[in-house]
Structure 1
């Protein structure tokens, strides 16, 4: 039976996502968010999967929408300048969606490169679409925290769920967690400002969320640079998600706050170094200190 928000635990639980385990004492689960940075081009999606694999992440994430359901009615006819000419926002959202054939190729290419793949569904039909493709987990975008109909559909899949918490109050997160349960839940602290200024990051929420919900907690970042994501790991984040792009100057809303290939490589490198540096918290004389101690310490016990 799933625990509720009131049945919090003090232990450090783990969640299995496919053949990987997310939680304290495990390698940080690094997600390269491709999102819609493929700009509707399956070849760019393939290139971004390659970028992620070469950087050493464990998973890539996309976004899946049914535009007629996901786009608010008042936004549908708003005109937008795009690389494909002027079109309505609804037409634009259709233009950047990938079809089933493209996703089947994405799934195969990710598997060939040793990566997990999944997506943030933005509506119930998209949940069904992704389930039919056999994703290992589902991601709840910050924009969907209050979409209880979709959360219930996700809970019914029985899959692990990764819940982003940007632009949400604790009360809204409580309600989402009540629906999703805590047995297979990973929560990501996030602030939905693009790009994210340091003063809005509020990294101390990471341990607070862990204490409140008793589930593995990670970080989804939209900042420029690497420092904040690395600090999140130092504060206990067991998963890190960052948008990735081939080039931050590409057209599209998320590219400017994304990591380019070299930045992603450095992020993974620095996370792995930090994992080694964190240690177990037990103070003792380290092997490398023995010789200096014998040479430098005049008084010994």
Structure 2
């Protein structure tokens, strides 16, 4: 992770099972300026049963009903394919990532040079996966779609246990103690970033609730980012402005393709535009201080005012709010210093608009 927003271009399964398209997606992500390009590593038979049906958005986006197993089987890439993709990403100067959806895939990915291990929203309640991921002792990015604060706390408790203890927990009490332990909290702060997420593709704006980022950050004291499933780029850019440390966004080579995630994904030019806008936001956010920018200082004399005579003032006449006013430029007494002058006699005569110098 870096001090700036870490932008993950989520290729996911939008390669449609084509290794050539997966390579092209790496090229697109690198050209767009993303920090990492992320895929999904799974063995369909270890992910779903034959009875698992498609989510409504999956059926809608693929144009057919049926089960998840056949759909996911067609989207698998072999483990060795991922090695080749990681090498291609390194050659293009972009970090390779992939989300593991089974324990074998997690163990395989652990040998690759990834900047972080990603826990998908659907696995937030899979204790064995959380424990195994924690035991890798790598940075963890944990998506929280569909979850409430209690479920997030439960997941963090497993991770805290894995980071600070050996063996397996006997139950929730062991996990709660690991989470409450200052050592567990310290390790969570070292290793974990939470991602706010709405698990719907595309996600309607009414379901986004970016303020949940603030709640998670305040509740758990961890860095928070955003995994965006909305259409377009505005919400991801807004999340960056709101303080997201990680932005994850799906992209595709062609949004009109059939497939579960294409419809909610950015096309290449849109991805590049989003990344450029987030980088602009980073620059504009600046530092947590309020002080004039160096570029403003030269404009002070031009934009601010000095005390001047509102009309001709005779020598000995008492200064008042009627015969004093403030006009540009700021080359004399500040209008903030008018108060001690009020009721004092003028030492000499002043013409209208003449700067007051005493």
Scaled by the length of structure 2, the TM-score of the pair is 0.72
Instruction: Find out whether 1:29 has 2:6 as its counterpart.
Output: yes
The CA RMSD measured in Å over matched residues stands at 2.3
Secondary structure in 1 matching 2:118? strand
Asked if the contact 1:117–1:135 (Cα under 8 Å) also holds between the matched residues in 2, the reply is yes
Instruction: Find out whether 1:127 has 2:106 as its counterpart.
Output: yes
Residue deviations 1:52-88, cap 9 Å, x none?
A: 000111111111112112114422799x8999x9986
Q: How many correspondences in the alignment? A: 276
Partner residue, 1:101 = 80
Correspondent of 1:49 among 16, 22, 26: 26
1:134 deviates by 4.5
Instruction: Find out whether 1:140 has 2:147 as its counterpart.
Output: no
Structure number with higher relative contact order (C-alpha < 8 Å, ≥ 6 residues apart): 1
Q: How does 1:51-70 map to 2 (within 5 A)?
A: 51-70=28-47
Partner residue, 1:169 = 148
Query: How far apart are the structure 1 equivalents of 2:273 and 2:265?
Result: 13
Residue deviations 1:151-193, cap 9 Å, x none?
A: 1111111111100000011111101111113131111111111
1:290 deviates by 2.8
Instruction: Find out whether 1:273 has 2:280 as its counterpart.
Output: yes
Scaled by the length of structure 1, the TM-score of the pair is 0.86
Asked if the contact 1:249–1:256 (Cα under 8 Å) also holds between the matched residues in 2, the reply is yes
Asked if the contact 1:58–1:116 (Cα under 8 Å) also holds between the matched residues in 2, the reply is yes
Asked if the contact 2:19–2:81 (Cα under 8 Å) also holds between the matched residues in 1, the reply is yes
Q: Compared with structure 1, are the counterparts of its residues 175 and 87 closer, same or farther at alpha carbon in structure 2 (3 Å cutoff)?
A: closer
Secondary structure in 2 matching 1:178? helix
Q: More strand per residue: 1 or 2?
A: 1
Query: How far apart are the structure 2 equivalents of 1:226 and 1:76?
Result: 30
Asked if the contact 1:81–1:87 (Cα under 8 Å) also holds between the matched residues in 2, the reply is no
Q: Compared with structure 1, are the counterparts of its residues 54 and 134 closer, same or farther at alpha carbon in structure 2 (3 Å cutoff)?
A: closer
Larger CA deviation: 133-142 vs 46-55: 133-142
Asked if the contact 2:41–2:79 (Cα under 8 Å) also holds between the matched residues in 1, the reply is no
Q: Mind listing any 5+ residue stretches in structure 2 that lack a counterpart?
A: 161-187, 307-329, 335-358
Q: Mind listing any 5+ residue stretches in structure 1 that lack a counterpart?
A: 1-20
Q: How does 1:204-283 map to 2 (within 5 A)?
A: 204-283=211-290
Residue deviations 1:76-112, cap 9 Å, x none?
A: 799x8999x9986423322210012211110100101
Query: How far apart are the structure 1 equivalents of 2:249 and 2:259?
Result: 16
Asked if the contact 2:233–2:274 (Cα under 8 Å) also holds between the matched residues in 1, the reply is yes
